Structure 1
Amino acid sequence: MNQKFAIFDIDKTVIHTDSMFQFLKYGIRKYPATTPVILKVVLHSLLYKLRLLEAEKAKSAYFHAMRHLDDSDLKHFYETELKPAIFPDALKEMQLKKSEGYHVLLVTASPDAYMRYFAELPCVDAVIATKLSVRDGRFTSMIEGNNCKGEEKVNRIQQYLSEQRLAIDYDSSCAYSDSLSDLPMFRLVKHKYLINQKSAHGCEGLTWNK
C-alpha cells in the first residue's frame, strides 16, 4: 500500500544534541569508575577518521557503560537527557505530519537501546536505529550488524516497508536531516529538508530553534 511518509533523522535533527556524547557523559556520571573509557573513545575516533577502524567498532567505545545499565536506566536517560532536548519546532512538525496522515518514521545511527523510547511519542509511528547485541537480558556495547548510517538507513527502511507491507509515496513524502550523509535517505522522497543548514544537493534549508 502506498503511504506518504515523513522521515526524520534524530541527532541534531529532532534533538539539538548528539545522543552518543550525552550517553557517554551519563554513563560516567552514573559509574565514575568508567571515566578512563574517554581515552578509548578518543583513540577509536582517531582511528576511524584515519580509516583504520570500522565505524561499528569505533562507536562501541561510547557505549561502554551499557553493560551496567538496565531498561529503567536507559528509560531514565531518555526522559532526562534526550526528551528535553527535542527541538520544539521538530515536535510541531512531527505532530503536524501525523495529523495530516503521514507515517512518521525516525531513522538514526544511534543505538536502539535508548532511541526506541522516541516511539512513545504519540506522533511517532516507529523508530529504526543501530542495533546493539543483547546478553543475559541486557544490551552490550557491541553493534549487531551494520551501523545505521548512509546507505544502511535505506536498507533498514526497505526492510521495514517490507515487514509492514507499505510503499513510500515518493511525490507526497518528505525527509529531514542535519547532514548530507543522509542523501541516500533523501532520495526516497521528493521533499528534502536540511535542518539548520544551507540548501544543498536539492535539499531545502530549514531552520529550527532550540
Structure 2
Amino acid sequence: MKKLAIFDIDYTITKKETLMELFKYVIKNDKRNVRFLPRAVFSGLMYSIKIYDEKKVKETFLKFIDKIHEKDLAELVKKFYDEKLQTILYEDALTMMKKLKSEGYDIYLISASPEFYINEFYKIKEVDKIIGTKFTFKEGIFTRKMEGENCKGQEKVRRLMEVIKNEKIEVDFKESYMFSDSLSDKPLLDLVGKPYLINYKKNHQIEILKWK
C-alpha cells in the first residue's frame, strides 16, 4: 500500500498566492497588461459580495492570458517558475518533502490553483503527482473556461480518489499526511491520519507547524 504526503500549495508550500503572483509577473514583463487590473479588482469585488463564485472569479480574472497559444503559455509559465515561483517556496516545506520521500511516501500537491502553471512544481524532484484546477484549450488556444469544478474542499478529495481509481493504487490513509494553511482543506485533513495546519493563526485541535 502507498503512503501519501499531500500538500496544498498557496500559503502552504509558498509564501504568497501564486495566481496573483502570475498576474503581477505578466504585468512586470509587459506594463501594457496593467489594463487588466480593473477587471481583477472587479472580479474580487463580485466574489466578496457573493455574486461570483470562485469558478466565475477565476474565469473572469484570467482575461490577462485569454487566447494565448498553448506553447506560448508553456514558455510563460516556465519562466514564471524559474524567475518567481521557486523563490517563494518555504524551505521547511521542501525539507519536509525530502524527509517524507526518504521514508517511502509519495508526494502529492493538490491545489485550487490552475494546473497549467502549478505543473511546473514537477521540477521539485520529490513531487510525484500534481492535481489542480483544469482549464480548457481549443485548437491550442487558452479559453479561460474551467474544465469541471474548482479544485477546492471536497472536490480535492474527489479528484484524489479519481486518480487513485484510475491508477489502480491502494492507499494507507491512516499513515498518510496532509499539510494545509486553511480549514477549507478539512475534507482532506480529515481523510488522513496525520493532518497538519501550516502557519495557522488560531488555536486548533489539529497540530500547527510554523514554516519559513
Q: Under TM normalisation by the shorter chain, which class is it?
A: over 0.9
Contact 2:27 2:33 in 1 (8 A): yes
Percent identity between the aligned chains?
A: 35
Superposed displacement of residue 201, structure 1: 5.2
Q: Does 2:86 match 1:87?
A: no
Which TM-score applies when normalising by structure 1? 0.93
Instruction: Provide the residue aligned with 1:133 in structure 2.
Output: 136
User: Which amino acid letter does the alignment assign opposite residue 4 of structure 1?
Assistant: K
Q: Secondary structure at the match of 2:110?
A: strand
Counterpart Cα distance in 2 of 1:139 and 1:200 = 42
Of 179, 192, 196 in structure 1, the residue corresponding to residue 195 of structure 2 is: 192
Q: Distance in 2 between matches of 1:85 and 1:176?
A: 17
How many residues are matched?
208
What CA deviation, in whole Å up to 9, does each residue of 1:63-97 have, x standing for no partner? 22323442111111111111111111100100111
Give the RMSD, CA atoms, in angstroms.
1.6
Give the 3 Å change call, closer, same or farther, for CA 140–27 of structure 1 in structure 2.
Answer: farther
Secondary structure of 2:127's partner?
A: coil
Gap runs ≥5 in structure 2: none
The residue type paired with residue 98 of structure 2 is: Q
Kindly provide the amino acid, as one letter, of the partner of residue 170 in structure 2.
Answer: A
Structure 1 consecutive aligned stretches of length 4 or more whose deviation exceeds 6 Å: none
Q: Letter of the 1:114 partner, please give it.
A: Y
Counterpart AA for 1:6:
A
Is the deviation greater in 36-45 or in 169-178? 36-45
- Tell me the secondary structure at the aligned position of residue 141 of structure 1: strand
**1:46: Cα distance to partner?**
1.5
Provide the rounded CA distance (Å) in 2 between the counterparts of 1:66 and 1:78. 16
TM-score by length of 2: 0.92
In the superposition, relative to structure 1, how do residues 30 and 135 fare at CA in structure 2: closer, same or farther (>3 Å)? Answer: farther
* 1:155 maps to amino acid: R
